[in-house]
Chains A and B, each alone.
Chain A
Amino acid sequence: MLETKGIEKNFGGLKAVDNVSIKVKEGTIMGLIGPNGAGKTTFFNLITGFLGADSGEIKFKGKDITNLKPYLISRLGMVRTFQQTRIFPEMTVLENLIVAPQDNIGEGFFDPIFFRKALKDDQKEKISIAVAILKDMGLSDQKDEYAKNLPYGEQKRLELMRAVMTSPDILLLDEPTAGVSQDYTDNMKTYIKKLKNERGITFFIIEHKMSFLMELAEYLYVIDHGKLIASGTPEEIQNNPKVINAYLGSEG
């Protein structure tokens, strides 16, 4: 479904991402791990168009999306979240969600005048979808709260829910459990599994914490210093000396 070939990005003299080729299969949960500063987030930024690649090719659903604008990539069905959560702080939880769908009626210039009825019906429908998702995640009580007032862990969940509201084919999550408690982490895990099973969403997840992906992912890629150093099932990765070295090297 998603494929990169020899993708590269330089910052000054530094090769942040160096000749990385990966494949994400439809209907799976795949992971990307690596020590801090390995180039994981840069890689995500390249795939989602927030950064331009220096060379290489990115294909999504068989279409070349290299250096396409971020919003166009998102419209093709690949939606991401951010390592440093980016919610809309001065909007309510509900507003955060109903703004997300890409087929919203009424976002064009002429819509509010010519499609008033359709717009209202569409909004009602989107609100009910959002309310259902909130119930699913146990956040119904906070739906009229400003997003900025939520605890950090719930902001991360809100960001994920907002991404789900766009009805994506693939979700790219950048450290979905960074800085949140064990409870939230477990909750997140169940939710991701549920989304995969019920909605058939494919996942590609960055994590620094290995344990999270060990249980969740079916296949893992490991990068270090911008280079792909290993790939395989969680068991294979766990026993790969190169990976252990990379992690130990960075911690030590």
Chain B
Amino acid sequence: MDYYSQVILNSIITGGIYGLIAVGYSMIYSILRFVNFSHGFVAMMGMYFTYALSVQLQLPFFIAAAGGIVLTALLGMIIERVAYRPLRFSFYLAPLVAVVGVAFFLESVALMVWGGGILSYDIRTISYKFLGLYITNVQIGILITLLLSVILLYYLIEKTTIGQAIRATADDIKMASLVGINSNRIVVIVFMLGSALAAVGGTFLGLETNLQPTIGLSVTAKSFAAVILGGFGNIYGGLVGGLVLGFAENLGVTVLPTVWKDFIAFGVLFIVIYFKPSGLLAKRQERGGRYR
């Protein structure tokens, strides 16, 4: 019993982290119907920016994390400017191919600057026993920040003018620009916001496990699976999907040997794509005049 409560707690923490990264992803997807392949790699960069500021420059962790988030948001802006905006009306696969390029570029940068080895943040973890469950100070911090981020995001999307414009653009980008919303600006904001969320999630991942330049790919895969699981068109879909994925992964490992963990994750992605709601496909085909 205790064992399973512990699994559930771990699922909530990993699921929450995936969910936070995936929300950033689903924001971009819901507006542009664009698979931002670089998203997981951006999260990885966020993780390392925080590392650079906190460990290499010796700043206090919270300031370093905030700085990492800001830097990552700027990175999101640059990616939009370089690899997405000029290609929006190009050959239909060009933006996807370009962000794949960006993704691997980021990975090579991380490999060069921080090396391929495993690093970790310089933080002392203290373990508590609470109602028979083991939880660390870091995990408590993650849970609180997760909750705060979600509340802040909800407020931003639902209660502010920018949020309103984002929602309108997500509903119908053409309509939104007709009523005077500067869709280019919204796209930039969404890229920045999405990247910032990825940085928060990436830093959490670094805290929960460790830092590795090669995790980008699996983070991208997991956030896409989360977005599809949670349902499209809904900005919060990724959050729900991330939680589901967190549970699937942690529970799956209780049944199968740990080495198959990644197999399960990608298997879930595959199955999820296969059983996606058919309405979505219809929507894509309508858009799908691929060369137009």
Contacts and interface: CB of A to CB of B under 8 A. Distances in A.
Q: Do chains A and B touch in the complex (CB under 8 A)?
A: yes
Interface of A: 84, 89-90, 148
5 contacts: A84-B289, A89-B291, A89-B292, A90-B291, A148-B291
A89 B291 CA distance: 8
Contacts of B289: 84
Contacts, number: 5
A148 B292 CA distance: 9
A89 B292 CA distance: 9
Contacts of A89: 291-292
Tell me the dominant secondary structure on chain B's binding face: loop
A191 B292 CA distance: 28
Nearest to B292: A89
Nearest to A148: B291
* Interchain residue pairs A-B with the least CB separation, the first 5: A89-B291, A90-B291, A148-B291, A84-B289, A89-B292
Nearest to B289: A84
Interface in B251-292: 289, 291-292
A155 to B, nearest CB: 11
Interface size class on chain B is under 10
A148 B91 CA distance: 13
Contacts of A90: 291
A37 to B, nearest CB: 15
A90 B92 CA distance: 13
Contacts of B292: 89
Contacts of A84: 289
B291 to A, nearest CB: 5
A43 B252 CA distance: 47
A90 B292 CA distance: 11
A146 to B, nearest CB: 10
Nearest to A84: B289
Nearest to B286: A84
Nearest to B291: A89
Nearest to A86: B289
A89 B289 CA distance: 10
A145 to B, nearest CB: 15
A148 B289 CA distance: 12
A90 to B, nearest CB: 6
Contacts of B291: 89-90, 148
A86 to B, nearest CB: 8
A84 B291 CA distance: 14
Contacts of A148: 291
Interface string B153-179: 000000000000000000000000000
A90 B291 CA distance: 8
A45 B1 CA distance: 56
A84 B292 CA distance: 11
A96 to B, nearest CB: 14
B159 to A, nearest CB: 30
A57 B49 CA distance: 64
B292 to A, nearest CB: 8
Interface string B208-240: 000000000000000000000000000000000
A84 B287 CA distance: 12
A119 B99 CA distance: 42
Nearest to A89: B291
B199 to A, nearest CB: 40
B282 to A, nearest CB: 10
A84 B285 CA distance: 13
B19 to A, nearest CB: 30
A132 B174 CA distance: 43
A79 B275 CA distance: 31
A174 to B, nearest CB: 15
A34 to B, nearest CB: 21
A166 B292 CA distance: 25
A225 B291 CA distance: 33
B290 to A, nearest CB: 9
B279 to A, nearest CB: 10
Nearest to A51: B282
